[in-house]
Each structure stands twice: as structure tokens, then as C-alpha cells.
Amino acid sequence: MSYENIDDNEQSLGCKDRQLAAKDAEIKQFRAALESMCKQFAFWGSPGLWTGGLSALEQAFDALGWDETHPSPELVCSEEGCNERVTCSTPATDGYRLTCSKHVPKETDGE
């Protein structure tokens, strides 16, 4: 067995590992962007997203591995029993309260 090229092989493997890591990071970035676009442009059907038959959205859902109706509980109004889409973000004691326009907290004097 020849050991003369071990350092070259290790360097080559290290380079390939870095290339794979960079490609993986790039794929994650593309996936996050595609998910964001789908959440913004897909149709809302309580309580999830659907393509509405638009081929671009169908392709995006396929690329993400999503079903035609993709559950999106993070986009549902936080008001008990409401299944409308979140349209408002209001500061709350524990972060932000996400609600539909019907359940936006009313401002009161002195608060």
C-alpha cells in the first residue's frame, strides 16, 4: 500500500466536505426563501395553504414536499376558536400576539 499521496487525498476530501457544506447551506437558504414565498403568495384555506391550481405554486409545493393543502398553524389567528389567517402582530407581555384583523386588540386610554 502506498502512503505517499495520503496528504493530498485528505486535503481533497476536506475540500469536498467544505464544498458539500457550502451546497447544503445554499440549499437551506433556497428552501427558506421558497417557503417564505409560498407562505406569502399561496391561497389560504383554513387552516392551511393551497396552490389554487397555479402551476408555479404547484411546482414550489412539490419541491418542498408539501401536499396540495399544507397545514400552517403558525399562520392561524391566536384567538380561541378562530381559524382565520394572521394579518396583525401586536406587542404582548410574552412577545407578540398574532391575530386576524377581526381580533386586533383595541387600544385603550392610559395603556
Backbone angles phi, psi at 102, to 5 degrees: -70, -25
What is the per-residue pLDDT for 110? 46
What average pLDDT does range 51-62 have in this prediction? Answer: 96
Give the predicted TM-score (pTM) of the model: 0.67
Q: Which domain holds residue 17?
A: 1-71
d(CA 92, CA 88): 12
**The pLDDT of residue 111 is above 80:** no
Is the domain of 43 the same as that of 86? no
Q: How many helices (H) and strands (E) does the chain have?
A: 2, 5
Higher pLDDT, 93 or 13: 93
* Count of the separate structural domains present in the chain: 2
Residue 61: exposed, middle, or buried by beta-carbon count in 10 A (0-12, 13-18, 19+)?
A: buried
The share of the chain scoring above pLDDT 90, in percent, equals 46
Is residue 49 domain-shared with residue 99, that is, in the same domain? no
CA–CA separation, 39 and 50 (whole Å)? 10
59 lies in the same domain as 30: yes
Q: Read off the pLDDT of each residue in 14-24 and give the average, rounded to a whole number.
A: 88
